[in-house]
Amino acid sequence: MAVRIGSNISALTVQRSLSKTSKELHSVSERLSSGLRINRGSDDAAGLSVAGGLKTDRRVFTQGVRNLNDGLSMLAVAEGAIGQLSNIVIRQTELAEQAANGIFSPSQRGALDLEAQRLFDEYQRILDTTEFNGLNLLDGSAPSIDLQAGYGENGTIQADIIENSIDSVSESIGLGTYTDNIVSYGVATADFGPEFIVADFNLDGIDDVMAIKSRDLGSTIRTSIGFLLGNSTGTGYTVVEPTGFDTIYSGALLNFNVTAQARDAGSDGDSDLIVNLAYITSLGIGVANGTITNNTVGGGGFSMGAFVFDGTNVTIDQLSASVTADMNNDGVDDNIQGSGADVNVRIQDTTVNVTESVVVESLAQDAFSLTSQYGALQALSSLKENLTRINSAVARIGATQSKIGTAANVITTNVENYAAAQSRIMDADIASESAKFVKLNLLQQASASILAQANLQPQLALNLIQNAI
């Protein structure tokens, strides 16, 4: 091997090995001193991420177990109080049974009632004052408590104390905007109308619209009548069998008016239409009255007959130029208006508002009196029902305690498993790291010794030069 002065390759090689060994020895020393395999992200980025999640889960569920144990403590308080309520009701029942016996005088029953009423007051006091951390447990203000045992809604366990249920009420609310349904029928233009009557003409449970309009054609007043039948949702309308009539007059027409009314003229259960047209000409006054018969009942389907003049001189008025009614049975009023000579059924847009309320069974006692034999008998029935509710509450609390205890056991096991998984990722293997430490320590010492020898090689070159001179 050549001997050089400019570069000491051997020393450089040994320095590189010594630096690598020292770095590894530092890492091993850090693991042994901290007990952790991962001390920084560069040691194992993926492992540190997984271990961080496991640590979070372990701490969350550890707190969840404490939450459940707090819930068990709360239920124990409620159970103890309800046990005393049960004792009170049992004693009151004994007193009522005694007072119901016919051998006692009013004063003796008064003494029995005095004790029963004092127990009644104590019963109510227990209901009003049984609390856990400021929550009243028996007066119905907190019939169930949500215990958080994990993440989000899936980690919630409901601790039931008193029988309760959720009552939901859905209500449609009008938005003030409308969807138009414009329908054409009869004469294209009108001197009168259209005006409307709303009724269920075809008896399908959905309101329909009768629209009427008239036009002077010169010596004839043409009256057009249309029945707009709503579909099953009340949002679409079809003109079915439009009908009408012509009224002939003489002279110059000065004015006319139409009135109408929907009523069961045939007494058969469906709505017929009674129409009156009154007009004034230069020659005098004229009227045209008549009926349009609805043939839905007995006819197998909606069918309106022709206008039949009956000559009756009556004035009727149910018509309106603008009608407000719930046309699609959603609880919100819609609107019918004239759109030129046509009809516009304007269905109001809605949104649904859901209101929920909690219905709670009360543990409170009904008032009773043992001052009479009859009152004592009535009290026996009331107290028996009261005791049934108390026993149900005790059973409900016991079942909830069992549920929470089981959940706590499961979560505790999960916490142990999370800790074990985190340990396998994060903790150092002390035996393995100790062996590495010994090995690297020896390598470091050997490298240091060899480096000292390598640094003497340039000196050998100097000796050769001196000998040559």
Domain-wise residue ranges, the chain: 48-162+361-418, 174-354
pLDDT at 78 over 90: yes
Answering whether pTM is above 0.95, one says: no
Give domain 48-162+361-418's CATH superfamily: f41 fragment of flagellin, N-terminal domain (1.20.1330.10)
pLDDT band of residue 165 (cuts 50, 70, 90) is low
pLDDT score for 439:
84
pLDDT band for position 1 (cuts 50, 70, 90): low
pLDDT in tens, 341-352: 888 888 888 888
- Flag whether pLDDT at 95 surpasses 60: yes
pLDDT band at 369 (very low <50, low <70, confident <90, very high): very high
Q: Taking all residues of the chain, what is their mean pLDDT, rounded to a whole number? A: 85
Q: Is the pLDDT of residue 465 over 80?
A: no
Residue recorded with tokens 């039948």: 229
- The pLDDT value given to residue 6: 62
261-271 residue pLDDT tens = 998 888 888 88
pLDDT tens sequence across 167-183: 667 777 888 889 888 88
